[in-house]
Amino acid sequence: MLLRDNIVQAIRQLACNELAPTHLTDAQKFEISNDLCVLELCCKRKAYADKIKKALSFCTIKAAKGTQLYQRHKETKDKIKSLKQHLSNKQLKQAIDKFHKTIDTIKINLQQQGVMLTQEVLTLSNIKYKLEE
C-alpha cells in the first residue's frame, strides 16, 4: 500500500507542477525593469553611449569597438543583462514557492464556490493474467 500512496502523491505533485507559474507576468517584468540597481546601470550605460557619440564622434556604438569607452559600455550592458536574469530567476522562484504554499487554499476556496476540480489520479491496474500450463 505504501508504494501506491507514493505513486498517488507523485501524480498529485505533477498535476500541481503543471499549474505552477512557468514565466513572469508583465507586471513582474516591469518591476524588474524598474529595479533601482537596473535603472542605475542603464543610466551609466547611456552615459557611456553619449560619450562615445559626442566625445569620440562615432555615429554608432559598434563603430567605437576597441576603445575604452566601448569596453565600459559593453561591460555595463552585460551587468544589466546578468542582473535582470538574476532578478527574473529570483522572482520566478518566489512565485513558484508562493503557488505551492497556497495551492491547497486556492483549491478549497474553489470547491466552496461550487467549482469541482477534476484530477485524474493514476492507480495500479487490477489486470489478471491466466497462465496456461
Chain-centre distance for alpha carbon 10: 23
Whole-number Å distance between alpha carbons of 107 and 28: 24
Cell 551587468 belongs to residue: 79
pLDDT in tens, 65-78: 999 999 999 999 99
Give pTM, 2 decimals. Answer: 0.66
- Maximum average pLDDT range among 1-10, 20-29, 80-89, 112-121: 80-89
pLDDT in tens, 54-111: 988 999 999 999 999 999 999 999 999 999 999 999 999 998 888 878 877 766 776 7
- Within 10 angstroms of residue 29's Cβ, the number of other Cβ atoms is 15
Whole-number Å distance between alpha carbons of 32 and 27: 9
Whole-number Å distance between alpha carbons of 28 and 81: 16
Cell 542605475 belongs to residue: 40
Provide the pLDDT for residue 17.
Answer: 62
pLDDT in tens, 3-15: 666 666 666 655 5
